[in-house]
Structure 1
Amino acid sequence: MKVASVVGARPNFVKLAPLSRALRERFHEVIIHTGQHYDYEMDRIFFDEIGIPEPDHHLGVGSGSHGKQTGEMLARIEDVLMKEEPDAVVVLGDTNTTLAGALAAAKLHVTLVHVEAGLRSYDRRMPEEINRVLVDHCSDILCCPTKTAVDNLRREGIVDGVYLTGDVMVDAMNLCMDISKRSTILERLDLRPKEYMLATLHRAENTDDDERLWGIIGAFEDIGSSLVFPCHPRTERRLRDLGLWDSLSESIKVIKPVGYLDMLQLERNALRILTDSGGVQKEAYILRVPCVTLRDRTEWVETVNDGWNVLAGASRESIVRYAKGFAPNRSQTHIFGDGEASRRIADVMESFMCSSRDTAQESINTS
């Protein structure tokens, strides 16, 4: 049976790395790359570093408004699906690529698999939240990383096709952990373990809101200790537009986005992590590094409830206070599973698709 995996943004690539390996043991996988992310540091480096198979189709959509980008992806993905005729389409996470792939599959009546289903921040101002809700309600197979995600779907009336598989990010980190130890990023940046903080900032709710962006950057300036800041292209553009780029303090070590292996090394050795990224919140938890989240809400509520993550919003004072003083006061409960999520997802897909095929054949035989 043929499976089409639709990816296009940095978070999709990381999740696909272990999942593609599991899928290819049972299916013929075709990879469709929308081109949502296209800078080397946000795209190509992941294929070079962590062994993701080369895309079979690269759609080259690029950047644009949410509507324009999603619409162009939808049309181009639909063309590929009509040509490839897969038995199932796999989408991952909550990006515009995820939504476009889901809509294309649903409209063509192709079995749709959502990896990382059931997440909710309950903040509809976030485009990712809209994407999550729509994709979940289109999907036939919903692979949930945590029990909370399963419960979220149940509250929305989604119970059929829901599976608790664990989180593929644990699989990805297990796959790459030993390799990442070869990274020389600390030496290149002259950093010592646990003597710096790591910050990432890219979500539109922060970068496109002048007041929030000023508050977060002001906090970065106030923290004082060495702060490593791999800067997303969108964030750099906004800082330049506001005249903040050239006046950033020398205590902030601004660098270009780094590959996944370098990022794991930076995360593992950080004293604390400050981020608005859902994936980085989760990686911080798995690596047992305290996390300060630069948002008012998070879809990864388990990390907050377990005491390893705190929501600071965009308040300059709150960010500085937590950055200097937040420390978990208890051990973890291993909420994201055992690193076998990719295998479970492949098991679920194989069982579902074989059952559907048998049912269709029985219908033909009795007609």
Structure 2
Amino acid sequence: MSVIVVVGTRPEIIKMAPVVRELERRNVGFVFIHSGQHFDYEMSQVFLEELGLPRPHESFRLKNSNPASQMGEMMIKLEKALGEHRADKPSVMLIQGDTNTMLAAGLTALKLGLRVGHVEAGLRSYDWRMPEEHNRRMIDHVSHYLFAPTEVSKRNLLEEHVWGEIFVTGNTVIDAVDMYFDRIEAVEEKVVQQLRFDEYVLVTFHRAENVDDPKVLRDFVRVLRGSPMPIVFPVHPRTRRRLQEYGLMGEVERLDNVQLLPPQGYFEFLALMRNCRVVMTDSGGLQEEATHPRIRKPVLVLRNSTERPEAVMQGFARVVGVNPVVVLAELEKTLKSGVELPGVSPFGDGRAAVRIVDSVLSRLGT
């Protein structure tokens, strides 16, 4: 018996790292596949090595960037690759999250008669503008095993009457922070020394529905300009392209209260988060990482919805939208209030990977 583990983007690699390491710890055979959605194998190899993960058995270079073409290409390449691993007798494919290649992987597995296990099942933003919302719903409805991170996620799945079996496991992102915390501490001093500010707000902004809209992007620049506390802003490649395209990059570079940084590594970014006062972001994963007991930062979500309501319910996050007047008012209130955050994460206790592997092995009779 062999398990197939498919990843493609950096968040997927981070969140599946604890599962891969747990499979290794138990000597469970697995086939590790990198879909190549965000970057090719050479570019990702350093990142995989940094996390102590094995070299993928298969790694693709996807030529298409159009979502439909990309999914079709992924399905063709994955079917061929799985055919070459028939001797491994794979019986379940584990996929994580809600990207195009994860949906393609899930559909391919289904058509080939493999069972599908969806890690981080049941997240819902109820915002149909988000392509991720389409993907995660479809993945959940073709999955045999649904590894919901929280009871809220489980309730979403039950309300949709999914036919697969649901397990509440916690989120593997908490496992990952636990697993790599020594590495985060090791780079912390160097990361902080590069900053111009002693106190700062950490900002990320990259989602297509935000940065591809010139009005929203101009409003975002107004937020940067008007922030009552200095800002540290690692600039995502998509965001940099749009700032340049809309003639805003020069204005951002001239802001004295903003320090621009290149995209950061996983350890470096978490070190930045540990030392900031507030996180402002449109990222989903950061809403989870900020709740880890050794990070514990308030988050202002620069979106109109979130698929992580648990962070809001526990007081870690507030959904503030993208209107600069509202965002700046909420930021000032957060900086002044000094809210005491919970000492435990709503996303689990760091044993999600153990529960996921336990469930897979029990259902496969191993």
Question: Structure 1-normalised TM-score?
Answer: 0.91
What does residue 38 of structure 1 align with?
39
What does residue 4 of structure 2 align with?
4
What does residue 71 of structure 2 align with?
70
Q: Distance in 2 between matches of 1:41 and 1:251?
A: 36
Q: Distance in 1 between matches of 2:356 and 2:303?
A: 30
What does residue 57 of structure 1 align with?
58
Aligned 8 A contact 2:40 2:60 in 1 = no
Q: Distance in 2 between matches of 1:90 and 1:39?
A: 21
Q: Which residue type is aligned with residue 198 of structure 1?
A: L
- Of the candidates 270, 273, 298, which is equivalent to residue 290 of structure 1? 298
The two structures, once aligned, show a CA RMSD in angstroms of 1.9
Q: Distance in 2 between matches of 1:129 and 1:274?
A: 22
What does residue 47 of structure 1 align with?
48
Q: Counterparts in 2 of 1:310-349, with a 5 A limit?
A: 310-326=318-334, 327-328=338-339, 331=342, 334-349=345-360
Q: Counterparts in 2 of 1:104-143, with a 5 A limit?
A: 104-143=108-147
Q: Secondary structure of 2:220's partner?
A: helix
Residue 267 (1) aligns with residue 311 (2):
no
Q: Distance in 1 between matches of 2:51 and 2:267?
A: 8
Q: For each residue in 1:120-157, what CA deviation from the matched residue of structure 2 results, as whole angstroms up to 9, or x when unmatched?
A: 01111101111100000010111010000000000001
What does residue 258 of structure 1 align with?
264
Residues 63 and 274 of structure 1, relative CA distance in 2, 3 Å threshold = farther
Shift of 1:95: 1.3
What does residue 165 of structure 1 align with?
169
Shift of 1:50: 1.6
What does residue 29 of structure 2 align with?
28
The total of aligned residue pairs comes to 353
Of all paired residues, the percent bearing the same amino acid is 38
Q: Secondary structure of 1:178's partner?
A: helix
Q: Secondary structure of 1:158's partner?
A: coil
Aligned 8 A contact 1:218 1:316 in 2 = yes
Aligned 8 A contact 2:296 2:341 in 1 = no
Q: Which residue type is aligned with residue 134 of structure 1?
A: M
What does residue 186 of structure 1 align with?
192
- Of the candidates 141, 145, 152, which is equivalent to residue 148 of structure 1? 152
What does residue 225 of structure 1 align with?
229
Q: Distance in 2 between matches of 1:176 and 1:33?
A: 21
Question: Structure 2-normalised TM-score?
Answer: 0.92
Aligned 8 A contact 1:90 1:115 in 2 = yes
Q: Counterparts in 2 of 1:174-253, with a 5 A limit?
A: 174-183=178-187, 184-192=190-198, 195-248=199-252, 249-253=255-259
Q: Secondary structure of 1:214's partner?
A: helix
More displaced 10-residue stretch of structure 1: 3-12 or 74-83: 74-83
Q: Distance in 1 between matches of 2:247 and 2:302?
A: 21
- Of the candidates 94, 105, 120, which is equivalent to residue 90 of structure 1? 94
Q: Which residue type is aligned with residue 51 of structure 1?
A: G
Q: Which residue type is aligned with residue 189 of structure 1?
A: L
Residues 16 and 273 of structure 1, relative CA distance in 2, 3 Å threshold = same
Q: Distance in 2 between matches of 1:191 and 1:271?
A: 11
Shift of 1:115: 0.3
Q: Which residue type is aligned with residue 2 of structure 1?
A: S
